[in-house]
Structure 1
Amino acid sequence: MNTALTILIDGLSYASWLFIVALGLTLVFGVLKILNIAHGSFYALGAYAAASFVGWFATMKFAPEWSLVAMLFAAIAVAVLVAPLTERGLMRFFYGRDEVLLVLVTYALFLVLEDVTKLLWGANPYYVSEPYALFGNVEIGDQVYVGYDFMLMGLAVAIGLAVWWGLNRTRHGKIVLAVIHSEEVAASMGVNVSRVYMLAFSVGIFLAAIGGAFTAPLISVQPGVSVGVIIVSFAVVIIGGLGSIEGAAIGALIVGLARSFAVHVMPEAELFSIYIVMALVLMVRPEGLFQRIQARKI
């Protein structure tokens, strides 16, 4: 029983940050029709920025609780600085082009951002320990779990609900959905499609960055951290279905629980377990579990 509970909690914790990152990936695909290989680099920028902001807050003698605010500011800073440069300076020149070309462009951007992070932060690892200790430990039965993991689960639920509400219950969200369904019709009705692209890309980068920022206390922030993230993020959206919010949630849960089960039962199959699950889903549902008839509906 204790092992099953540990697998469940570890799986939910892993799925939480993964859902946040994958949500940004599927949102960008739904609106811009871009399979963004560089999404993992935005995650890494968020993690590095969080390490820098938390360290700066510590040197300014702020209370440890402010480290959470520092991580949020780090994610916002990445979105505000990187989104305009990337979307206006690069991506908008390739809209409507062949999908393979778009993948190659984002892959080139991924390589550039990898070197940029090394130039800015070097090759040494960074550690963000302050936020991890804020939530103490949680006792369930005779097992003790880290409270930060439960905070991360709550954050994932809050962000998922906020994105769903923003898309389905606000005027700007309905405009975004109109562009997703048909950008030509939306443009003919007076919608500024270019502005919607910028908004969606900015939100996608923010989600990747906030996923990286709040995962930083759990990992060693170092070069190469973006590679593993983009691989498992693609696994999530492939399992759930590209362009689906509920698909991203279910896909993250499946990947998180599969990985957690492998870690506790068969550690040597940790990474392989994700691909097994992805292959099984693709055999039954090649379009993903939640893919609609409208291929890019969120």
Structure 2
Amino acid sequence: MDSLLTLLIDGLNYASWLFIVSLGLTLVFGVLKILNIAHGSFYALGAYAAASFVAWSTGVSWSPWISLIAMLLAAVAVAVVVAPAVERGLLRFFYGRDEVLLVLVTYALFLVMEDLTKLIWGANPYFVTEPYGLFSSVDFGSMSYVGYDFALWGLAVVAGLVAWWALNRTRQGKIVLAVIHSAEVASSMGVHVSRVYTLAFGAGVFLAALAGAFTAPMISVQPGLSVSVVVLSFAVVIIGGLGSIEGAAIGALLVGLARSAAVHLAPAAELFVIYAVMAGVLVFRPEGLFQRIQARKI
């Protein structure tokens, strides 16, 4: 029983941060129709920025709880500084072009940002341990788990609910949905489509950086961090369906639980099982589990 509970909790821990990353990726695709290969780099920037912000807040001898605010501010800083520069300075020139070209552009951006993080933070790993010890342990039966992991569950739930509410229950969200349905029609109705693109891309970058910032205390922040993240997040959105918040949630749960089962039962199959789940879903649902219905143009 304890081993089954551990498997479940580990899977949910993994799925929580992966859902936040994938939520940003599926939002960007839903609005801008871009498969953003550089999305993992924004995750890595959030992790590095959080490491720097937490180190600074610790150095000035403030309350340890300030480190949580520092991680949030790190994600905001990445979104505010990086997102407008990338969207306005690069991606805007390629809207409406061939999808393969956009993939190549974002891949080139990914390579540039990989080298940029090395130039800024170097090649040595960073460890952000202070926030991880702020939450007391939680006991389930004879097993004890770190409370920070459960706080990350809450963050994932809040991020998902806020994103769903913002898209479906606010005026701005209705405008975004109109752009998703047809940017041309929305523009003819007076919607500032380029502004919607900038805000949506900024939200996607923020979610990626938020996941990176709040997983930084759980990992070693080092070069190469973005590679595995972008592969996993693409697996999640492909399983769930590109552009679907519900699909990102289900896809993250499937990937997280499958990986946890492999780690506990067959460690050699850890990477294989994720792609096996993705392939199994695509066999029966090539468009993903929750692909949005596309309007037919006549």
Give the TM interval when normalised to the shorter protein: over 0.9
Whole-Å separation in 2 of the counterparts to 1:204 and 1:69: 20
How does 1:99-110 map onto structure 2 within 5 Å? 99-110=99-110
Does 2:98 correspond to 1:92? no
- How big is the shift at 1:136? 1.7
Whole-Å separation in 2 of the counterparts to 1:149 and 1:282: 31
**Which structure 2 residue ranges, 5 or more long, are not aligned?**
none
**Which structure 1 residue ranges, 5 or more long, are not aligned?**
none
**Match for residue 62 of structure 2?**
62
Q: Once structures 1 and 2 are overlaid, which stretch shifts more, 249-258 or 272-281?
A: 272-281
Describe the SS at the equivalent of 1:3: helix
Does 2:195 correspond to 1:190? no
**Match for residue 23 of structure 1?**
23
Deviations 1:76-96 (A, max 9, x none): 000000011100000000000
- Structure 1 runs (4+) greater than 6 angstroms displaced: none
How does 1:256-271 map onto structure 2 within 5 Å? 256-271=256-271
**Match for residue 118 of structure 2?**
118
Whole-Å separation in 2 of the counterparts to 1:279 and 1:187: 38
Q: With the length of structure 2 as denominator, give the TM-score of the two structures.
A: 0.98
Q: With the length of structure 1 as denominator, give the TM-score of the two structures.
A: 0.98
- How big is the shift at 1:271? 1.0
Describe the SS at the equivalent of 1:162: helix
**Match for residue 50 of structure 1?**
50
Share of identical aligned residues, percent? 77
Whole-Å separation in 2 of the counterparts to 1:121 and 1:194: 33
Does 2:207 correspond to 1:219? no
How does 1:1-298 map onto structure 2 within 5 Å? 1-294=1-294
Whole-Å separation in 1 of the counterparts to 2:292 and 2:108: 30
Give the letter for the 1:175 counterpart: I
Describe the SS at the equivalent of 1:64: coil
Deviations 1:129-152 (A, max 9, x none): 000001121001111011011000
Give the letter for the 1:91 counterpart: L
Whole-Å separation in 2 of the counterparts to 1:29 and 1:62: 40
Whole-Å separation in 2 of the counterparts to 1:24 and 1:62: 32
Whole-Å separation in 1 of the counterparts to 2:144 and 2:179: 47
- How big is the shift at 1:65? 0.6
Describe the SS at the equivalent of 1:37: coil
Give the letter for the 1:125 counterpart: P
Give the letter for the 1:60 counterpart: V
Whole-Å separation in 2 of the counterparts to 1:84 and 1:206: 11
Whole-Å separation in 2 of the counterparts to 1:286 and 1:170: 32
Deviations 1:5-42 (A, max 9, x none): 10110000100000000000000000000000000000
Describe the SS at the equivalent of 2:199: helix
Describe the SS at the equivalent of 1:139: strand
- How big is the shift at 1:249? 0.2
Deviations 1:260-279 (A, max 9, x none): 00011111111111011111
Describe the SS at the equivalent of 2:64: coil
Whole-Å separation in 1 of the counterparts to 2:102 and 2:253: 29
Whole-Å separation in 2 of the counterparts to 1:176 and 1:277: 31
- How big is the shift at 1:292? 2.6
- How big is the shift at 1:293? 2.3
Give the letter for the 2:78 counterpart: V
Whole-Å separation in 2 of the counterparts to 1:172 and 1:292: 20
Give the letter for the 1:26 counterpart: T
Cα-Cα RMSD: 0.7
